[in-house]
Amino acid sequence: MRLIINRRTSFQAALLGLTVVLTMTLSPLAPSFARSSPAGNAPPPPSVGARVPLPYFGPPPSTSDNQLVGPVQLLRSGTIDQQTETITLPLYRGALRSGQAVWYILTDTTDKDSADALGLNYSYKLNYASVGRGARTARLQTDTSLVFDSGAVNFAPVHAVVPGAQPNAFPPRVAQPGSVGDSGYSPLARIVNIPGTPIYNAPMVAFGVSASRLNAFCGGNPDYHLVHDKVVKICPRDGTVTLALTEGFSFAKPVLYLSTEANHPLPAAMEGATYAPGLRDIPVGHDDSAFSPVERLFATINGPTGAANPQRQGFNSALTGEGSPLNVLGGIPTVATDYSPLWDLNVGQWTPAAITNGYRGRLTEEFQILDLARKGFITGPGGAPYGSSGFVVNCPIVMRLL
């Protein structure tokens, strides 16, 4: 989850489990979240503290076995720039049945052979997302494009996030997603005329706009009334789109991931993602049990703050412009077998007793968090039982840095 604020208009803010509607208008002087420093949590080179320079070292062990020490690029269909924390992916053009152009990317699929061939992430769990509006349907055409049966996105809304009053920047006073899907929009698409009817994660990055208009942004500086807020560059002429990534951790390994949709306006705004109402039908709270389409993502409200603090983490920190909240992802490829790009957001809060006793610090792996919750040092928001917030975020994994 990469918290950002753009100089845009107003909206609704919601606290976890409770919805509080606040209608406000931002001034032109509204503050802006600074992007996290490039590769801010990337591991240091092995030459630090050694008697020889970096070129004397061999390749990382992951080059012989991707389950060993990284880095490992997991979404291999694109080119990653670690300095700017972006990925350039193939840009696909499809259409709705009504004829409007759909510009989208592919990140994950339930088809293992297709995942291997195209460099996508494989996720068997997405098979269980085809409930209610969880996955819309699409048909492959003779020109290899997809025609989607439903699901439009309005990219015109103005993205805005305004933090709450200190010291509790979360929940934000204003949380307006910059793109909003209609009632049938989900990034997931089941291709009904392909054998096995596989599901693909196909987030939309632009809708109802011509290639010639989007080609104006081949060099960057896109119009965010036309494209997803994660877009850095988009170029139908070259068939590519460059997207901003987010820093986090999975089982103590630093990672980069891509946030594209959420099932509620609050996390969508905080992610810089599209509000996708179709994802409201995704079941949560079941983690790795049978037929569960989700994996868990762990976020902290009141972690340590301070831009230079090596323990920095959490929503309060990110909302005040200190960088990514450094969320903790559960299983990802090469680490576990239960990966899904659909993350069941578990939001935690350090208790006053944990803070007083000096237990609060940066969290980097799932079972560390669950142990602290079991011992009562972390609870849900406001002291509620720890567990699912009910929020689902679509965050395909991109790279494991260690």
Q: Per-residue confidence at 42, pLDDT binned at 50, 70, 90?
A: confident
CA-based torsion, 167, 168, 174, 179: positive or negative = positive
- Examine the pLDDT at 138 and tell me if it is beyond 50: yes
Burial of 221 (0-12, 13-18, 19+ CB in 10 A): exposed
Mean pLDDT of 200-206: 98
How far is the C-alpha of 271 from the C-alpha of 276, rounded, in Å? 13
Closest CA to 107 of 145, 137, 76, 82: 76
Q: Within 10 Å of residue 374's Cβ, how many Cβ atoms? A: 11
pLDDT in tens, 326-335: 999 999 999 9
pTM of this structure: 0.90
33 compared with 363, residue with greater pLDDT: 363
Q: What average pLDDT does range 297-316 have in this prediction?
A: 96
| pLDDT tens-place string over residues 264-286 | 999 999 999 999 999 999 999 99
